[in-house]
């Protein structure tokens, strides 16, 4: 005689649960991959803006740490107003350094680098 005291999961329930778990794992992989790609795109956009700004450099240019500050500010900008502010601040620093292009010693003593 077969005892019917315990209840078990049916084979169909186990298969459905396994498929749901696989789908969940695939969705997590897709979304985490997309988020990483989005973050990478934002970082590349900041680097492109920095390259555009470097075109305006003269012999006397902002330091690499100033460039990092600009890149961070641009990446952290949540709206176009914040982006515009970051760009105008860095352009002002470029203009300040360009004003010292006549002499290497003056350039470096005022917090810029000679290139």
> In order along the chain (115 residues), what is the average pLDDT of each group of 10 residues?
65 92 86 66 70 85 89 84 90 90 88 88
User: Half-sphere exposure of 36 toward its Cβ, with a 13 Å CA cutoff?
Assistant: 6
Q: Is 78 helix (H, G, I), strand (E, B) or coil?
A: coil
How long a stretch of residues is the chain?
115
Tell how far CA 51 is from the center of its chain: 16
pLDDT of residue 42: 57
Is residue 67 a contact partner of residue 87, using CB atoms and an 8 Å limit? no
**Radius of gyration for the alpha carbons in the chain, expressed in angstroms and rounded:** 28
pLDDT of residue 16: 93
């Amino acid at each position: 005689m077969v005892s019917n005291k315990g209840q078990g999961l049916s084979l169909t329930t186990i298969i459905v649960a396994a498929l749901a778990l696989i789908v969940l794992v695939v969705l997590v992989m897709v979304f985490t991959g997309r988020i990483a790609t989005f973050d990478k795109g934002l970082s590349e956009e900041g680097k492109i803006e920095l390259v555009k700004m470097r075109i305006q450099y003269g012999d006397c240019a902002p330091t690499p740490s100033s460039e990092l500050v600009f890149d961070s500010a641009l990446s952290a900008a949540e709206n176009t107003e914040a982006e515009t502010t970051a760009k105008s601040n860095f352009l002002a620093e470029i203009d300040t350094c360009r004003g010292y292009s006549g002499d290497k010693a003056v350039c470096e003593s005022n917090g810029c680098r000679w290139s």
